[in-house]
Structure 1
Amino acid sequence: MSSRIAFRTLTAIVATAALSLPVAQGASAATPPARPTANTVVDENPFRWMDLDGLRAEYRFMCPAGHCVGYWSLVLTDEVARRPYRGGEFFVYAPATGEFGFFLDTDIATRTVRHPRQVRLVDSDFTRSHPRFEVRYGDPAQPKKARVVATATIWM
């Protein structure tokens, strides 16, 4: 008799679990995906192999047209951003090739920005293809005379 009661109890538990599984799956599908954990975000940092001076990697969210995406970017450190800047613009420059990169200003790529808090470099062909690039402040028409504010170096 006790084995019969145990069998009925086990059958009821299995049936309840089988019937509630689709409901639980539907509930999890209806909930938005969780934000990445700190470990996930750190693992995906495309700048982790760079030697940064005056820059730091930052994970942000952007929601163009209501569709939010997370992305990594390089920004000036707080110390560098607090320094006084007058009479010039920030720009990204690769001294070895003389090429210019772009900043991400909100969701628009721009060659120069005026305020240190607007300095935001994303993972791009430019950041991947230049072993060293610099954030400079001054006149972009005369990049060699501009002040070097921050650098990023990829050691090969």
Structure 2
Amino acid sequence: MAILNIVKDGDELLRKKSRPVEAITPRIEALIGDMIETMRKANGVGLAAVQVGILRRLVVIETEEGNPRCFINPVISERKGSDEGVEGCLSVPGVWGKVERPSEITITYMDEKGVTHTTVETELAARCLCHECDHLDGILFKDKATEFFSREDLEEE
């Protein structure tokens, strides 16, 4: 497995819409492993393929330590509730912002074996998946943030 370079804000790639994954190939399987390693190395909880330069509808999250999850061609079909929280992004280093997200989502996706699932996700997983799915459509958290913070601001709180 390899640690991949994370695309940073200002790169026009982050503003493009990602294309669906057509098939689970050895290349996609390797990408999933590399994305998980890259996310962990960067101390992130989520990573979209576009953030490592691949315009495919693929995200990985690890909201529970030791339990990385892969979402291929994810579609959020239902959003419930509302929760405002502070988010950061590996592609926007040093900046955090308050973002309102649903507290519960229903999401349909394929896993790394090609099996389709529909699950209800809540709390951090819901926030993380909304954030990562936004990446797949060229949207950054800062587009939705109502207030911004630096590392120093967060350490003072």
TM-score (norm 1): 0.22
More helix as a share of residues:
1
Higher RCO, 1 vs 2 (CA within 8 Å, ≥6 residues apart)? 2
Larger Rg computed on CA atoms? 1
TM-score (norm 2): 0.21
